[in-house]
Structure 1
């Protein structure tokens, strides 16, 4: 598509312009990573939508639909529930802290070693998730443009994402996210509306219940634990909450974005099921043989490119900021930009080695969830709770190791055992910290 190639080049120009301009004031780490807590609820909501709807929520759901049918919806469905819970119990609590990153907050509750541990786990995991987005972008361009033209566009787009993330920081990322969220929602809403109008009988015949023989309630529970918790406790959700103007803005953003995720999940699952026999149920809507009108194909293609780009930049900045602040223990804004370039370049190159988007994400989650998210949940949900540093860290490390074993063996039972161990240790650590506080208070009173 020559027209599409030209539009992608124009999209890249907008991406760089929106992402880089006006960011000379972000010289501090706080400004670079959180915009200094000045972002409106509307921009935070659009940024959440753009960040969450990436490769797994588009191309990944298409492939998942071929395996488990309408239950593929739950990949975003559990995200909707998790994001709502984040807004209800977590966002207003953590926004009132002075933290800049998820591990930074953890460090104030469970000590420096916990912060280092979480920083390392997230940096490694989110590097893999960033690679998944670049992999999806590369696959998309190959399918809709093909040949050397696709490789050139991929290198240009990926390079543009890295450049605007490193130069623009969180302020630039959130601005571009707003543009990308609008493009991806318009593209999919128009394509979904066309499906409803052009083939109402086929849509009416689709299964309505998002459970199948291949994906039952037990599988839903597992997905809710392994994937849904990353929407309740996740670096990307935290970064948007820390960037919000205040606690109420953070909560409003999460509540506004959650139903959009559910709507998008319905649309992308419907489109995948209507094209279920295709090699790639989502991207094949853009093939020369597709019945979708050309103008809608172009809009859908721009929506897909926006979805993948909008996730990659947020993930990249989160990983870079956490490496500098929480792993290295420094606060150099310039170093964060360099980390973003290095991690982005590695992610760019990874697209030639892997094609399994959902697999990459699950591998990352199997390490992050038992090693960080689950034990942190008990410290940050409802109110901030201090924890005994040694006990919390011991449980988190044990959980992370078990999650790694599950990742290497392919047995989810190890990962869930890790979640149970780290969660129990976290509860014990909170209890011990509370007892020590009571004893110290009694001694001071005496």
Structure 2
């Protein structure tokens, strides 16, 4: 029965892609869904994008090991969206389709091309991790083997995204979000009524201290106010008022979700005991939930994965297209983007077949991206400008140092990641300092 439901589910998704394909009238439809999304549709799309396998499976697993510190995943997302709310008016004046175009407006075409090349490399790892998450879910809910699940999930992502672009993504995101919310809510209610939480480590503890929180804020929270996937949602809004309402509504939903996900992880910790399991949430679904509720939860998780993977795949592919065609408003860009969707999708499938750890791969990608692009983009939105040479140096120095920190790991690695942001800021601040000195010198000379 589960096999049949799964195939009907993916067939329905494929049909949405076909229907959206027929409605694409130009690049605006393909890249930003016509730019006329309503509050509910935009909210559903934002939350469906945020609540991927990293957010749900990852935060539950993290709470199993670290107690209430798992709440920081959703709290950090809410904080990031809060910052986005206050810079939204400046951001909405931009008329392009993605973040590299925004950087190009700020600092020049060379910075645009660098971002269009570097970000997709990192984002391919994120797509691969979502495929891994989907394959794990499929292998648990059906008779399909894990490896076959990787191929099936990956090919579905590719076909669905390739056909309908942003139109198909935003149409299904709200429905997928409802699956996610209902599944998590019923799972939370069942475990809360039937099992005690018991003792758990607080938000800050010896396992997750202030230094780890700072790193999470820098590498995770920042991606919600300077993030390619989040911006691709915002550019779909029909106006500024719609985007602001969607952000507020998303924050209101994310905060209680932080408690729900953490409590699931804490329940799992008490029930698992000394046993070793691959996923705390999967353990709860398989061992604790009634069969009908378990099926709902599996579709909840599958919806979470799909809604994040398709957005990330389209975002990364559109960036690579810019390197070759320059302007995404060129009608040829859709065909080239579809080619890159297939290419990056196949690469992601290959990576998924080789990778073992979902959460670590996602944080590696976020660290590279955030160390390189958060500061230049945020300062650019606020109106700061620097020469392309300084910006390019800041991108490679910050991203490289963050990568070293993530590979090095531990407390020393966290210090490297924190310093990556400091270094990035210092490099971009050099021209401003020199300009102020020159201005003061000219001013002093004019008084004599």
Same fold (TM over 0.5): yes
Give matches, 1:4-403, under 5 Å.
4-89=2-87, 91-145=88-142, 148=145, 151-199=147-195, 202-203=196-197, 205-207=198-200, 209-276=202-269, 277=272, 279=277, 280-287=279-286, 290-326=287-323, 329=326, 331=328, 332-380=333-381, 383-403=382-402
In structure 2, do the counterparts of structure 1 residues 406 and 21 end up closer, same or farther at CA, with 3 Å as the change threshold? same
Between 120-129 and 273-282, the greater mean CA deviation after superposition: 273-282
TM-score normalised by L of structure 2: 0.89
1:286-323 residue CA offsets vs partner (Å, 9 max, x unmatched): 22xx2311111111111011111111000000000111
- Whether the aligned pair in 1 keeps the contact of 2:180 and 2:300 (CA below 8 Å) is yes
- Whether the aligned pair in 1 keeps the contact of 2:128 and 2:352 (CA below 8 Å) is yes
Q: How many residue pairs get matched?
A: 428
Provide the rounded CA distance (Å) in 1 between the counterparts of 2:22 and 2:184. Answer: 35
Provide the rounded CA distance (Å) in 2 between the counterparts of 1:271 and 1:245. Answer: 37
Between 211-220 and 100-109, the greater mean CA deviation after superposition: 211-220
1:146-182 residue CA offsets vs partner (Å, 9 max, x unmatched): 553x554543333222111011011111112111111
Provide the rounded CA distance (Å) in 1 between the counterparts of 2:43 and 2:140. Answer: 31
Between 182-191 and 342-351, the greater mean CA deviation after superposition: 342-351
In structure 2, do the counterparts of structure 1 residues 185 and 389 end up closer, same or farther at CA, with 3 Å as the change threshold? same
Q: Find the residue that maps to 2:378 and give its secondary structure.
A: helix
1:353-382 residue CA offsets vs partner (Å, 9 max, x unmatched): 1121111111112211111112211121xx
* Partner in structure 2 of residue 442 of structure 1: none
Q: Which ranges in structure 2 are unaligned for 5 or more consecutive residues?
A: 441-448
* Partner in structure 1 of residue 444 of structure 2: none
Q: Find the residue that maps to 2:238 and give its secondary structure.
A: coil
TM-score normalised by L of structure 1: 0.89
In structure 2, do the counterparts of structure 1 residues 79 and 326 end up closer, same or farther at CA, with 3 Å as the change threshold? farther
- Whether the aligned pair in 1 keeps the contact of 2:212 and 2:414 (CA below 8 Å) is no
* Partner in structure 1 of residue 445 of structure 2: none
Q: Find the residue that maps to 2:35 and give its secondary structure.
A: coil
In structure 2, do the counterparts of structure 1 residues 233 and 85 end up closer, same or farther at CA, with 3 Å as the change threshold? same
Residue number among 410, 416, 419 corresponding to 1:417 in the alignment:
419
Provide the rounded CA distance (Å) in 1 between the counterparts of 2:401 and 2:52. Answer: 28
In structure 2, do the counterparts of structure 1 residues 159 and 436 end up closer, same or farther at CA, with 3 Å as the change threshold? farther
